[in-house]
């Protein structure tokens, strides 16, 4: 009994009618679209790729730019304590001066 009711309800749900759309609905949409400009919103990675695509530099220019960037990076990442230590030199100058005064 319950199965019959289920089946009938399913049948009714599948046979629902609706008012058909206007025959020219699709054409109306196509016609309106023709009057609208498209806006191009690109994903970030695509815009970056397009931006780089705009540059047409010869290969040596890329090599030179890469070498410069590489040099700057190496320069800034070099350890700071490779030269004479500031504190050490300060101490030695002080001791030298006081030694000099003692002589006078």
Residues forming the site for other proteins (CB under 8 A): 4-6, 8-10, 12-14, 16-19, 21-22, 25-26, 28-30, 32-34, 36-43
Instruction: Identify which of residues 16 and 59 has a Cβ nearer to other proteins in the complex.
Output: 16
Our CB check for other proteins shows the closer of 15 and 82 to be 15
Residue 37 Cβ vs other proteins, minimum distance, rounded to whole Å: 8
| CA triple 57-58-63, angle to 5 deg | 100
User: Measuring CA to CA, how many Å separate 50 from each of 41, 43, 61, 104?
Assistant: 13, 11, 19, 75
Nearer to other proteins, 40 or 56 (CB): 40
Residue 37: which region, alpha, beta or left (left: phi > 0; alpha: psi -120 to 50)? beta
């Amino acid at each position: 009994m319950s199965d019959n009711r289920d089946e009938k309800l399913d049948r009714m749900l599948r046979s629902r009618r609706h008012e058909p759309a206007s025959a020219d609905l699709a054409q109306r949409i196509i016609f309106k679209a023709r009057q609208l400009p498209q806006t191009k919103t690109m994903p970030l990675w695509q815009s970056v790729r397009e931006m780089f695509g705009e540059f047409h530099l010869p290969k040596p220019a890329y090599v030179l730019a890469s070498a410069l960037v590489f040099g700057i990076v190496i320069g800034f990442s070099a350890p700071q304590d490779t030269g004479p230590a500031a504190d050490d030199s300060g101490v030695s100058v002080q001791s030298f001066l006081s030694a000099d005064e003692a002589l006078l």
